[in-house]
Amino acid sequence: MPATYEEAMRELEQLVVRLESGELPLEQLLAAYQRGAEILQFCRGRLEAVESQIKVLDDGMLKTWTPE
């Protein structure tokens, strides 16, 4: 797995370009798709971990951050 979220996103973007090119043989297409699914799962896990840790100061009290 990539070391960081940013590295994962770069790799995912490169995979998407390769997948959309239509030039990959079937076996490589399947492998690229599987790798993309793994990276996507990694990214979602990182985002969920960050969201659970973000706190916002509101009237002197910490509360869990919720997106607007």
List the one residue out of 33, 68, 34, 39 whose CA is nearest residue 54: 68
CB-based contacts of 38, cutoff 8 Å, min separation 6: 1
User: pLDDT of the chain along its 68 residues, tens only?
Assistant: 889 999 999 999 999 999 999 999 999 999 999 999 999 999 999 998 887 776 554 555 666 666 65
Domain ranges across the chain = 5-64
5-64: in CATH 1.20.200.10? no
Token digits for 30? 């399947």
Q: Can you give the pTM of this predicted structure?
A: 0.72
